[in-house]
Amino acid sequence: MEKRIKEILALEPGEDTIKAEGWVRTKRDSKNVSFIEINDGSCLKGLQAVLDRSSFSDELISKLTTGCSVSVTGKIVKSEGGNQDVELRAENVEIIGECPADYPLQKKRHTVEFLREKAYLRPRTNLFGAVTRVRNTMAYAVHSFFQENGFVYVNTPLISASDCEGAGAQFQVTTLDLENVPKTPDGKVDYSKDFFGKLANLTVSGQLEGETYALAMKNIYTFGPTFRAENSNTTRHLAEFWMIEPEMAFCTLEGDMDCAEKFLKYIFKAVLDKNSEDMEFFNKFVLPGVIESLEHVITSPFEHMTYTEAIKHLEKNNDKFEFPVSWGVEIQTEHERYLTEEIAKRPVIVTDYPKDIKAFYMKMNEDGKTVRAMDVLAPRLGEIIGGSEREYRYDVLLDRMKELGLDPAAYWWYLDLRKYGSVPHAGFGLGFERAVRYVTGIENIRDVIPYPRYVKSCEY
């Protein structure tokens, strides 16, 4: 394989002939020489190639425009300009694909909104190149963290007949003719005629199926797409996003919290170690202080407090909030931030939430009022991870489902799992794009995934 530009930039000047392939970012002409900057996505910085104009035709020089693809060979020499250590003295320049003047990415800085419309070209910008590299590092770190710790990667189904959150924000999967929907005698949609013979949806979480594998493999994780038909036009919600969901058997909430803390620190550290150039870019142009805030998370032991304690802290400051709190209410982002930024001054894990604001599968505490849930809160963001110990007692789970009006028959296998060798188990979920957004400091979640899907938008 040819050398990537990242490797070429690390070379010493020498007599070897080096080939660089990539896309021209900029060109500067002077009387005797032309400079082009070539980028191939391997790093933020481009390689400067210097063309002696007496050796190349004017036609070639004029066709070297922003956006064209080139293959340049030459020798690495010490650069005379101040911006780089070395440059490529071009001996042969081949334009592979020309790029006309209507190329949408011109030298000026474009807005993220503009770039979203040009999503097929945006990875060629500094910003999206950096996001793409950081996302890649984080995905790799997710796998290496779990693999190094003995977790088995499990692929849970994307098409599902169960609704994990019971929230109803699901996309339906059907091959029924929507112009002519088959009906049962009592006028309902006849799903027996549908592809699966029953109502099916895209999954909102792989957790329930993940639990079944944890109760065989002990420690598992999923890392795959999830779908939510949420009508929320926010900078935090996508209709299609990637989720990481570890699940551990013979494990209670303590082990779960420990895993979540180590996991977050591991993936953040991976980015600081491997993408320092990209992180400096984000620190300078996207969110000043972002590097420091990641370092702070990595080096601080996370604070632990129960929901009840958190509410006590917050109630004393109710005058500062748009939505004042009291025991039983949802803790919102403003409160979460206050807890981490003002009260603890480090990440906080809040546990033991009221059962009424959490999902049916969470383990009931002795008090009958709270469940063994945890949310990991991070400064400048609020919730970054949500998890819990699961209810592993058959009778307690069944009662809870009935209490919430869930149909036990629809969850038969999930209940039966509690009959056959049940054991305490716990896990958590991390929305991958939320994590990438946090690490890069990028404001809108739509800019940390290649092709964002959200309400009224499914371009490309």
Residues contributing to the site for ligand ATP (CB under 6 A) = 165, 228, 230, 236-238, 241, 243, 383, 386, 429-431, 433-434
User: Based on CB atoms, which residue is closest to ligand ATP, 272 or 455?
Assistant: 455
Sign of CA dihedral 122, 234, 243, 261: positive
Tracing tokens 């949408």 back to the chain, one arrives at 104
Strand-strand pairing, 303-306 and 348-354:
parallel
Distance, CA of 39 to CA of 69 (rounded, Å)? 10
Q: Least distance from C-beta 230 to ligand ATP, angstroms?
A: 5
Please report the DSSP string for 245-265 in residue order. EEEEES--HHHHHHHHHHHHH
Query: How many Cα neighbours within 13 Å face the side chain of 228?
Result: 18
State which H helix or E strand residue 268 sits in. helix 253-274
The smaller minimum CB distance to ligand ATP, of residues 50 and 331, is found at: 331
Specify the residue, 138 or 243, whose C-beta has the smaller distance to ligand ATP. 243
Query: What is the nearest approach in angstroms of ligand ATP to the Cβ of residue 234?
Result: 8
**Least CB distance from residue 237 to ligand ATP, whole Å?**
4
Minimum distance from CB of 158 to ligand ATP (Å)?
15
Run of H or E including 96: strand 86-97
CB nearer ligand ATP, residue 151 or residue 241: 241
Residue number with the smallest Cβ distance to ligand ATP: 431
Per the DSSP assignment, residues forming a β-bridge with 48 are: 37
List the one residue out of 253, 255, 259, 262 whose CA is nearest residue 373: 253
DSSP string, 27-55: EEE-SSEEEEEEE-SSSSSPEEEEEEGGG
DSSP-assigned beta bridge partners for residue 350: 305, 375
> What is the spatial distance between Cα 119 and Cα 114, in angstroms, rounded to a whole number?
9
- State in angstroms the smallest separation of the CB of 117 from ligand ATP: 21
Q: Which is closer to ligand ATP, CB of 241 or CB of 338?
A: 241
Q: How far is the CB of 194 from ligand ATP (least distance, A)?
A: 26
Q: Which is nearer to ligand ATP, 86 or 238 (CB)?
A: 238
C-alpha 59/C-alpha 62 separation (Å) is: 5
Which lies closer to ligand ATP via its Cβ, residue 18 or residue 243? 243
Q: Indicate the helix (H) or strand (E) that contains 112.
A: helix 112-117
Distance of CA 251 to CAs 50, 217, 246, 259, 417, Å? 61, 13, 12, 10, 16
CB of 227 to ligand ATP, least distance (A): 9
Least separation in angstroms between residue 460's CB and ligand ATP is 18
- Minimal distance, residue 454 CB to ligand ATP, in Å: 8
Kindly tell me which of 24 and 239 has the beta carbon lying closer to ligand ATP. Answer: 239
Q: Smaller CB distance to ligand ATP: residue 193 or 236? A: 236
